[in-house]
Structure formats: C-alpha cells, structure tokens
Amino acid sequence: MTFSTRSLGVLALAGVCQSSLADSVALPPLALGNSSFMDGVVMPGVLTELPIQYSRSNSAYDAHGHSVPGRQAVRSLTMLPHIAYISEHKLFGANVGAEVLLPLVHLDVDVDNGPSGTRSRQGDLIFNPLLLQWAPVQLFGRPYWQRAVLGFSVPTGSYSSSAQINTGANVWVVNPHYAFTWQFSERWEVSGRLHYAWTSRNNDPADALEAHEVQPGQAFHSNFAVSYALDDNWRVGVAGYHLKQISDDRVDGHRQKDSRERVTGLGPGVMYQKGAQMFYANFYVESQAQNRNEGSQLTLRYLHPF
C-alpha cells in the first residue's frame, strides 16, 4: 500500500537532455521498491505510514543498455505520508477501503549538457479510491492473503514547462495493482505486487522538446520479496522490483523508436515488528537499465495500524 518516487530522477531530465535519454519523454514516478515483506497482510482499520526514501545515481543508459557518457548525477530524498482505511463493509467478499499518499520531494541534479540544480516541492498526489482486501484463503494448506487496488496519480505536483527540474509530471496515471502474501511455511513467506500503468498526455511539455504534447508509453512493473522469520519480532530477506515499458512514447502523436524504459532492482531487507508497529529497511541496487538512470536506493518505512 505504498508508492515510490524512484523515477523522479528521470523525470527531472525529461525534455532537457535529449542527447542522452532517447526522446526524453520519461515515465512518471511509479511504485518501484516501496513494498516489501508481508505486503498482502492487512486487517480492517486505519493504517498510517511514513516512508522515507533516498535514491542516488551516477549513470544513465540508452535504449541499447549502453552507458551515456559524461556526468549523470541524480539524488532524490522523498517523504511520503500515507493513510489508508479498510472498513468492515464487503464487496466481492473483500473488505472495502481507500488510501491517499502525498510525496514531498527534494531533488539534486547535475547532468552534463542537461539540468543542474536542486528543487524541493510537492509531488503528484496518489489517490486509491477502491481497495479490496480479502481474508486469507488456504493455498496448499498455508495462508494466502490478497488485495486489489484501483489507483490514480493526480497532477497536483510542482510543474513548469520552462523548469529544468520538476517534482510533478503534469499527467494523470491510472495504476491498478494486485498484491499478495503466501506464508508457505511457519517462518517463510513470499510477497509481491503486479502493476499496470497508463499515462495521459502532457499538453504542456518541456520547452526544450518543442512539441505540443507528449505521452509516455504504457508499462508493467512489479515488486517482489521473500523473507524468513528469525523470531516473533524480526524478519530478514531479499526484495526487488522490475519495470518494463510495453509501448512506445509519443511526441505530437508520433511513436518514438527505442523509447521504452526498463530497470531491475534487487537487495537485502529487514523487518522489525513490536506489537502493531512495524519498521522496514530495504536497500536496492539497480541493473539492466534502458532509457533511464541506474543507481541504488535506501527505503525506510514506519507503519502503525489502528
């Protein structure tokens, strides 16, 4: 039930660094790496969460996975206040809920022949008006939790077509997902999220593109995690994410060849639970990037359900 701003670094480059990143139409921020162990396990009530994420990259890669020469430094620090409510009301046998998330972003960018500077602003509001959380069922005799969410990103973030760095994308994003956790033994579990993202047209694109409208392509992205319970309080494991753009970007309605993005992140994680409160720490190292920057990220999350 979280959201990530890992692609904000690429968003900062959109339309300003045409020589390095394909046609410079970037995907909007997507939920890469901000869910982890036991993700599908949620009970009715109110959930408050504060994720803090630090991302850094010194490399960018083109459509063929070749390193873009020159300095490609992007740093981002994000706080993402999040509140969710799951009621006792049922629909399709699931408890019905909703959630809202508001990213607060600090960006520091230094790219050769591209943007340079810092910016601290609000990102685009995430509103998930329909959340369906099912009670666990038995899969091979073990508990299987699942959740379906209809989500939207609303263009409320800071954006200007003349700015070198933006924290808003100036687009609507439809981003439904399915989350699950299977506790396949007394101590082991596997969790994941499967997302689809469709992005609307940006009718006020970056001035450097000299275009009337641009539209990022559609994408599939997923989060995955496996963990082992050391005791009643601690879990350790491995988590990751994968992004694959499945359709071309468009500029003034024309498809842009070699414009699709891809990246994979993988790394260790730990979870600590004390009563109802939970703390997560995950570190990811990225690889296989195409048409985007590649680096690492540290995500810290504090959750408190009521």
Average pLDDT over every residue of 43-64: 95
Please, what is the Cα angle at 173 between 263 and 215, to 5 degrees? 75
Cα 58 to chain centroid distance, Å, stands at 20
Closest of 233, 223, 221, 226 to residue 268, by C-alpha: 226
Average pLDDT over every residue of 219-228: 98
Q: What is the pLDDT of residue 260?
A: 96
Asked if pLDDT for residue 246 goes beyond 80, the answer is yes
Asked if pLDDT for residue 5 goes beyond 70, the answer is no
Measured distance CA(221)–CA(38) in Å, rounded: 19
Asked if pLDDT for residue 11 goes beyond 60, the answer is no
Measured distance CA(72)–CA(10) in Å, rounded: 10
Whole-model pTM above 0.85?
yes
